[in-house]
Amino acid sequence: MTGKKYVYLFVDGKAEGEGSWKELLGGKGAGLAEMTNLGIPVPPGFTISTEACVEFFRQGEQFPPGLWEQVLEALHRVEQAMGSRFGDADNPLLFSVRSGARVSMPGMMNTVLNIGLNDQTVEGLSRKSQNPRFAYDSYRRFIDMFGDVVLEVPHQKFEELLEKAKQRKGVTQDTELDAEDLQALVREYKALVERETGKSFPDDPFQQLRMSIEAVFRSWNVPRAVTYRRIHHLPDDWGTAANVQSMVYGNMGNNSATGVAFTRNPATGEKHLYGEYLLNAQGEDVVAGIRTPEPLDKLKEVMPRVYEELVEYANRLEQHYRDMLDLEFTIQEGKLYMLQTRVGKRTAVAALRMAVEMVEEGLIDEKTAVSRVEPEQIDQLLHPMVDPAGKYTVLAKGLPASPGAAVGKVVFSAEKAVELGGKGEKVILVRPETSPDDVGGMHAAQGVLTARGGMTSHAAVVARGMGKCCIVGCKELYVDEAAGEFRVGTTRVKEGDLITLNGNTGEVILGEARLITAELSGNFGKLMEWADRYRTLGVRANADTPEDAMMARRFGAEGIGLCRTEHMFFGEKRIDAVREMILASSKEEREKALAKLLPMQRADFVEIFRIMDGLPVTIRLLDPPLHEFLPRLDSEIEELAQTMGISKEQVRAKTESLREFNPMLGHRGCRLGITFPEIYNMQVRAIFEAACQVTKEGKRVIPEVMIPLVGTLEELQITKRNAQEVARQVMDEQGVQVEYLLGTMIELPRACLVAGQIAQEAEFFSFGTNDLTQTIFGLSRDDAGSFLPFYIEQGILRYDPFIVLDQEGVGEMVKIGVQRGRATRPDLKVGICGEHGGEPNSVAFCHHVGLDYVSCSPYRVPVARLAATQAALGKGRDATI
Amino acid sequence: MTGKKYVYLFVDGKAEGEGSWKELLGGKGAGLAEMTNLGIPVPPGFTISTEACVEFFRQGEQFPPGLWEQVLEALHRVEQAMGSRFGDADNPLLFSVRSGARVSMPGMMNTVLNIGLNDQTVEGLSRKSQNPRFAYDSYRRFIDMFGDVVLEVPHQKFEELLEKAKQRKGVTQDTELDAEDLQALVREYKALVERETGKSFPDDPFQQLRMSIEAVFRSWNVPRAVTYRRIHHLPDDWGTAANVQSMVYGNMGNNSATGVAFTRNPATGEKHLYGEYLLNAQGEDVVAGIRTPEPLDKLKEVMPRVYEELVEYANRLEQHYRDMLDLEFTIQEGKLYMLQTRVGKRTAVAALRMAVEMVEEGLIDEKTAVSRVEPEQIDQLLHPMVDPAGKYTVLAKGLPASPGAAVGKVVFSAEKAVELGGKGEKVILVRPETSPDDVGGMHAAQGVLTARGGMTSHAAVVARGMGKCCIVGCKELYVDEAAGEFRVGTTRVKEGDLITLNGNTGEVILGEARLITAELSGNFGKLMEWADRYRTLGVRANADTPEDAMMARRFGAEGIGLCRTEHMFFGEKRIDAVREMILASSKEEREKALAKLLPMQRADFVEIFRIMDGLPVTIRLLDPPLHEFLPRLDSEIEELAQTMGISKEQVRAKTESLREFNPMLGHRGCRLGITFPEIYNMQVRAIFEAACQVTKEGKRVIPEVMIPLVGTLEELQITKRNAQEVARQVMDEQGVQVEYLLGTMIELPRACLVAGQIAQEAEFFSFGTNDLTQTIFGLSRDDAGSFLPFYIEQGILRYDPFIVLDQEGVGEMVKIGVQRGRATRPDLKVGICGEHGGEPNSVAFCHHVGLDYVSCSPYRVPVARLAATQAALGKGRDATI
């Protein structure tokens, strides 16, 4: 052997590698090695490492020095074990070459079977199998596959020749061709290859093998594989291993078969060997779907001994891997061979059940169990789902902005949604995009569908907050409100027509699809209880209403991390007072309008404080620009003008004067609190009047008053001083002491940069990573739809930064903010609120960067809890753009 | 003496302090000390240090221990020098107490004169002066002044009593009251004080003195002083000194006088003692403006000996201070006393002339000369000015967005401006706000006035770029285009009416004011030549057109730091092709439209490259969002639809689909270049075709291609690769090699954070501090008008961050970007382009942070050159928010 070791044998019950060597041997190779070591029958062979592949590309698609020699040496060992020889005309050994990357990329890369066949060895195979038809069929398949994969002669051209052969003979099934027909076909196939490539088909088995290995390596970089890696955020520099394995056949008669098995039911999690098989078939027949496979239970009847053996291997493997496995096997003339083992994919329901049951069986411990369920899967468990087994027509596809599923009648306005929703009808609100005006309608609807906007557009954020199914950015949709319909191509969907939204996939479905509700069995509670034992990061919820607060507690939130007071402003009666306040032409008028709002805000806070008894509630003072609250529709403007006794023109003029070019960067947050201190004063008064009242009721109230959009120390000083004064006043009036914190939302880059100063005044920081993402990237989440999807498609960004926190940019800024803030105030309480708080990668980041808590939508709280646990257990995933 | 030294004597030709101790003694005290040491006659006295004032406030407005004892001791020394005693009924010594901070705050703080008078000492003064009327008039004035300043009895009430006294006597002039009248008035004044304060007027001279000193200290914090400091960005913690000085009188007859003098003419810079005086008067008479002072030349005739003495002192002081001085003097019975000396304020013209002439006289060196002219003043020299001596009616006041002055007829649309401007008429374009559509009209107008927008709004930025007078954010203005007029209150100004804009003050003047043009004499050239000798920071200009480029060279720019290609898109014929390009529904259509633009862009670049022969030209590829180029007006939309042969609805629909919520954070910059690579490809082709052509002409072309709005390494990689390919192609086609750089604009916080990565690809960085300010502050410059002025007024921000670079936030981010960028690529060329590049504080910051160059509007280039020199000479000013 010369140079680096690239080739790892598995032969004679002993492998040079083992199951944990996935990086080196790929998933398949590691599985084969492990099974071999466990004494499970695996056709002997060897794995060429991923390092060889990486080196292959580094050297301009050349085998690295020594590799071929190592292959030949290993091949010789396999020959010895098999008692046959590669290329031997009498007793030929045949090989398969299969790709196998570190993680499974199903169907993306290439495989070549039956390597070693030529005009001589095919005769040997024929004699040995006493089955000439089988031998020639294998030979024909080999030329087709090798031609397609290695020589780039399109498979379709082989198919055409096959078709002609059947026509000539007047038959329809491949199986109706006999050995002679196939032999003739082999000649035609070889002639085809020669025509297409200008060279004769390689007869030398060693040349075949070498070319197959190279082709498998090259398939790492075929477009579909590259695209797959992009979609799944896998790096391009891993490379694939190549597994060279002696062939076994499931198509040598009715005592042969091929199949797949799961050690437990991957859909339900039930502990029972689950799978299917085909008698007298090869793997590709299963894939082709020409014959329908039988359930594994049937195999028990047909080949009881083999079945027992399979169950025994399955159990042994599950015990060994301590996880549910996905197995591939072949039975050649009554002998069982295992061809693959890997951890099986599973549904959310199954993942949960298996994790819990395996703990109960003593197979795994709690820490392992809580790492077994993907946090994202938890979200699905909390929502109804479109039955994947159902049949339905997908009309269009948008971005799956909020999970779950919803069926309802199409409506095009929030008013209509409220009207029909009030009558108990199920409606889907369809809008070009939503605005704060639509919040009531969204609430009344089962689901929301918009033509515009990204994953963090208004509709998306609000819907997720409500735990309501939502699809946004459905570009094919043209919403024609005037005509009372929306169109997708030539399909028109009228108001009142039924549609279904699949919020897990983004599919818009015509008509009513069947929905299933995943039951929240006791397993969910158990798993979450275990999760909380190993978690150090706090999890709070964003909750603006008493309903939200209740949901938050139900899902295990340890407080409210963000209560947006302005969301309380949109109630029917309130919005009028809010608008009066905004349109006020003097401080006195404004205070009059604010006085109307005070009891309403107080009442909300009273309820929320009661519900959150004993847990902290972070209340953010008014944040959005005032124009967001003003009416847009002509009828509304007229109504408001009448109510206020001013002219429509005055309302319009004021609205116009408040209009902003870039509202995101405008007159909002503490800038409002500073220019109109009476607004914040009213809100602080409402908070403390409520806090005093609920304290008197004997409950424990822990308010945390949060000033938004602070960029300078002075802004916080001014607003803090005012708030403290009002708080003091109210507590004096009420004769009650309420402990509270006063802090700020860190949502501007400048706030991170001067965090050391800001921490002089702030008792806590809550990073608003939505706005930070917008300002750090210079990216409006409402406008990103025109290029962000393209960026992700092209791999310019690995993730949508509004969904997964951008650790290099936004995360770096958060780190700077935390460091500088804690340098001034070591006990500074630091959290994040906003969308990222419920996204597992981002939660892991928050854990590692030392935050005290994350806060997210109530529905995402279990996701965040589980993600925080996994991060604490070291399973936190990295995510960089 | 106990404790710290607070009191510094100047007496008998010897002072305990000196002229450089301004921090300790204040400007006035330091000047008095220095004059005393120079042997110039100064009425003896002492200065109580600013430290005493600071301590006074620290101790809750109490004299610090030992201070009063030190005052008494010093007072005793003055008595000895004067041969009279404080409080002595026979030979009374009187004192003044005057404030004097580190820098002059004219008229902001308090003064008390004639301290030490009471019913006894007044008689002594009367006898000593042989002038009872003078004595009682001094006494009356003292009670008034002390009552007002120390006891807070409003001056108005004293005035009323004085008025009554005159009425009683049937006279109109104060001087018609005789000693008895004044004696009676003194009694009334004292009774008034007793009524108002409930206490009798303090007769004890020592109590008077102590109270006066306290009042002067307290006046540091009166509202007007606080406001003044805020406006002038002076810290609140300096405190003021208090100067206690023996009184001398210019009102003791016709051999007495008082006056002010400048060692050179502060308006023109002419070397000639300039000033005015009043015979038989006190300083307050000059201020009151009842009598008209005489020019100093007259004094030469009236008191030739005293005048010679004054000239001698003036010369001695100017030689000593080596600068033009502002002097105050009093002549008491033929004896000249100098009361104040300080460096005199001067106009831009005078500053320049004096600086140059003083070098020629050998009084100062070049380095001193270039530090003597405020960079901001240089700007004024380049523009016409409203004659400050003229009379005019100010109609309204806005923000002085671009300096200079302009007179013209009011027009309300860019079209009208172009139409009348084309006929040679002078017009002022008045708009609610401007958009890119108005650029042609702005160009045709003499000046621009807008009702909305801040110092960095579109109108402001474009006007400054054009060097055109502009006033923005003139809130009182209501522009009623429909009525063809604008209104301010009840005043209506119709289209065609003449107005004048004063771009230096923001004043909008009714009618035609007289303008003066400051001549650019040879002094300007000399000073700038000296400046360039000591400068290390490069200065380039932002120039989008050949005209700009010529201006840039004229003003001494060392290259173009920012050429915004999109500004070339607004030409008459071009905009149609641009719009076609935007409305194209396929890549092919887009390329067709781009092909039309190519020769136009190339022609521009050819001209610019020719002009900039031998100097670098940084060309930024398309940056603004496409919707900025689309028509807004119905008529324009119709025209465009016709030209393109599509329907108005299609144009509207496209416009609508391109609309953005936050265009600043939208689909712009390299995001356009990535989604529509053909646009950048056309621009790069135009650049290199032009570069090759001009190179063939034998000129030296140094293009620097700049990719805007890069936030990730990948964005730069993609756009760089494309640009390199096109450049290579063009150079191959043309058979010419052009050396060029490829870099990026750093205008997003993320770009600063990942600058280390970006520098792998970028050969230069140009910080776009306008956009960085917007994103770091979360502040849209177009929307900031609703609260930013309030912030500055309230001292929440010291400066408008769009004018003066925010060093704590934006500057910190720039530092991070520079450090990380240079860590990767030590020879990275780094500059800034944008408004801050021409602002002196910001230029100083750029020098200190190690940038290679700044780039600014051509008109600001001299300002930047001078500021860069001053920074290099260590005169750079700090500016933190």
Q: What is the pLDDT of residues B181-190, one digit of tens each?
A: 999 999 999 9
Amino acid at A448: V
| Chain A residues in contact with B750 (beta carbon < 8 A) | 776-778, 806, 808-810
Strand partners, B832: B767, B854
Q: How far is CA A598 from the centre of its chain?
A: 43
Neighbours of B391 (CB within 10 A): 7
Neighbours of A132 (CB within 10 A): 18
Question: A796 and B712: CB-CB below 8 Å?
Answer: yes
Measured between CB atoms, does A623 come within 8 Å of chain B?
no
**B722-731 long-range CB contacts below 8 Å, 24 or more apart?**
B722/B673, B722/B677, B722/B680, B722/B681, B722/B684, B723/B621, B723/B680, B723/B681, B723/B684, B726/B681, B726/B684, B726/B685, B726/B688, B727/B684, B727/B687, B727/B688, B729/B685, B730/B684, B730/B685, B730/B688, B730/B689, B730/B692, B731/B688, B731/B692
Neighbours of B148 (CB within 10 A): 18
Does the pLDDT value for residue B289 go beyond 60? no
- Three-state secondary structure call for residue B848: helix
Nearest Cα of chain A lies from the Cα of B240 at a distance, in angstroms, of: 25
Question: A791 and B665: CB-CB below 8 Å?
Answer: no
**Percentage of chain B surpassing pLDDT 90?**
70
- Is residue B470 among the annotated active site residues? no
pLDDT, one tens digit per residue, over A639-674 is: 888 888 888 888 888 888 888 989 999 999 999 999
Q: Specify the length of chain B in residues.
A: 881
Measured between CB atoms, does A855 come within 8 Å of chain B?
no
Band of pLDDT at residue B535, cut at 50, 70 and 90 = very high
Which runs of E-coded beta strand occur in A353-455?
Answer: 384-386, 393-397, 399-402, 405-411, 427-431, 447-450
pLDDT, one tens digit per residue, over B502-531 is: 988 899 999 999 887 755 558 899 999 999
| Chain B residues in contact with A663 (beta carbon < 8 A) | 661-662, 783
Lowest mean pLDDT among A510-524, B214-228, B662-676, B728-742: A510-524
The predicted structure's pLDDT at residue B879: 37
Give chain B's mean pLDDT. 91
Question: B775 and A749: CB-CB below 8 Å?
Answer: yes
Band of pLDDT at residue A518, cut at 50, 70 and 90 = low
Does the pLDDT value for residue B634 go beyond 90? no
Q: Which of A787, A795, A813 sits opposite B753 (nearest CB)?
A: A813
Q: Residue B120 has what DSSP assignment?
A: T
The predicted structure's pLDDT at residue B197: 95
B731 compared with B648, residue with greater pLDDT: B731
The predicted structure's pLDDT at residue A567: 76
Question: A664 and B881: CB-CB below 8 Å?
Answer: no
Q: Which of B747, B771, B809 sits opposite A754 (nearest CB)?
A: B809
Name the token pair of B643.
């030209």
Does the pLDDT value for residue B557 go beyond 90? yes
Measure the CA–CA gap between A363 and B90, rounded to whole angstroms. 112
- Three-state secondary structure call for residue A814: helix
| Chain B residues in contact with A790 (beta carbon < 8 A) | 674-675
- Listed in sequence order, the residues at least 6 apart from A516 whose beta carbon sits closer than 8 Å to its beta carbon are A384, A385, A386, A387
Nearest Cα of chain B lies from the Cα of A556 at a distance, in angstroms, of: 34
pLDDT, one tens digit per residue, over A251-309 is: 888 899 999 899 998 877 899 999 889 998 887 666 555 567 888 999 999 999 999 99
The predicted structure's pLDDT at residue B280: 86
Question: B663 and A664: CB-CB below 8 Å?
Answer: no
Band of pLDDT at residue A701, cut at 50, 70 and 90 = very high
Q: Which of A661, A675, A748 sits opposite B787 (nearest CB)?
A: A675
Rounded average pLDDT over B476-490? 90
- Listed in sequence order, the residues at least 6 apart from A123 whose beta carbon sits closer than 8 Å to its beta carbon are A89, A135
The predicted structure's pLDDT at residue B385: 82
The predicted structure's pLDDT at residue A458: 79
Active-site hit among B692, B833, B846, B856 = B833
Question: B786 and A675: CB-CB below 8 Å?
Answer: yes
A634 compared with A509, residue with greater pLDDT: A509
Nearest Cα of chain A lies from the Cα of B274 at a distance, in angstroms, of: 46
| Chain A residues in contact with B784 (beta carbon < 8 A) | 666
The predicted structure's pLDDT at residue A521: 57
Does the pLDDT value for residue A510 go beyond 50? yes
B874 compared with A809, residue with greater pLDDT: A809
Rounded average pLDDT over B675-684? 95
Nearest Cα of chain B lies from the Cα of A212 at a distance, in angstroms, of: 34
Measured between CB atoms, does B786 come within 8 Å of chain A?
yes
Active-site hit among B53, B383, B443, B458 = B458
| Chain B residues in contact with A754 (beta carbon < 8 A) | 808-809, 812
Give chain A's mean pLDDT. 91
The predicted structure's pLDDT at residue B481: 87
The predicted structure's pLDDT at residue B519: 57
pLDDT, one tens digit per residue, over B261-279 is: 999 988 778 999 998 899 9
| Chain B residues in contact with A665 (beta carbon < 8 A) | 662, 664-665, 774-775, 777-780, 783
Measured between CB atoms, does B805 come within 8 Å of chain A?
no
Give the closest residue to A875 by CA, choosing from A422, A563, A535: A535
Question: B771 and A790: CB-CB below 8 Å?
Answer: no
**Interface pTM (ipTM) of the complex?**
0.80
**Percentage of chain A surpassing pLDDT 90?**
70
Band of pLDDT at residue A2, cut at 50, 70 and 90 = low
| Chain B residues in contact with A660 (beta carbon < 8 A) | 780, 782-783
Measure the CA–CA gap between B540 and B512, rounded to whole angstroms. 36
Q: Which of B779, B791, B808 sits opposite A665 (nearest CB)?
A: B779
Nearest Cα of chain B lies from the Cα of A880 at a distance, in angstroms, of: 12
Measured between CB atoms, does A141 come within 8 Å of chain B?
no
Measure the CA–CA gap between B498 and B427, rounded to whole angstroms. 8
Question: A666 and B771: CB-CB below 8 Å?
Answer: no
- Listed in sequence order, the residues at least 6 apart from A668 whose beta carbon sits closer than 8 Å to its beta carbon are A623, A624, A625, A708, A709
Name the token pair of A447.
């689901």
Question: A667 and B787: CB-CB below 8 Å?
Answer: yes
Measure the CA–CA gap between B473 and B463, rounded to whole angstroms. 14
Rounded average pLDDT over B599-611? 95
The predicted structure's pLDDT at residue B881: 33
Question: A775 and B663: CB-CB below 8 Å?
Answer: no
Rounded average pLDDT over B770-789? 92
Q: Do A857 and A464 meet the contact criterion of CB atoms below 8 Å apart? A: yes
Measured between CB atoms, does A360 come within 8 Å of chain B?
no
B452 compared with B528, residue with greater pLDDT: B528
Angstrom CA distances, B373 to A78, B105, B875, stand at: 91, 20, 11
Does the pLDDT value for residue B473 go beyond 90? no
Band of pLDDT at residue A350, cut at 50, 70 and 90 = confident
Does the pLDDT value for residue A877 go beyond 60? no
B227: part of which helix (H) or strand (E)? helix B223-231
Measured between CB atoms, does A755 come within 8 Å of chain B?
no
Neighbours of A626 (CB within 10 A): 24
Measured between CB atoms, does B782 come within 8 Å of chain A?
yes
Highest mean pLDDT among A192-206, A456-470, A629-643: A192-206
Rounded average pLDDT over A850-865? 94
**Percentage of chain A surpassing pLDDT 70?**
97
The predicted structure's pLDDT at residue B521: 57
Q: DSSP letters along B428-448, please?
A: EEEESS--GGGHHHHHHSSEE
Rounded average pLDDT over B742-768? 98
Nearest CA in chain B to A660: B783
Write the burial class of residue B771 (CB in 10 Å: 0-12 exposed, 13-18 middle, 19+ buried): buried
Helices vs strands, H then E, count in chain B: 34, 34
Measure the CA–CA gap between B584 and B589, rounded to whole angstroms. 5
The residue of B457, B654, B712 whose CB has the most chain A CBs within 10 angstroms, and thus the best one to mutate to test that interface, is B712
Question: B662 and A667: CB-CB below 8 Å?
Answer: no
| Chain B residues in contact with A715 (beta carbon < 8 A) | 796
| Chain A residues in contact with B779 (beta carbon < 8 A) | 665, 711
Q: Residue A708 has what DSSP assignment?
A: -
Measured between CB atoms, does A478 come within 8 Å of chain B?
no
| Chain B residues in contact with A799 (beta carbon < 8 A) | none
Whose tokens are 């690239």? That residue is A6
Task: Quote helix, strand, coil % in chain A, to nearest 5.
Answer: 50, 20, 35
Nearest Cα of chain B lies from the Cα of A743 at a distance, in angstroms, of: 18
Neighbours of A556 (CB within 10 A): 18
Q: Which of B712, B749, B796 sits opposite A712 (nearest CB)?
A: B796
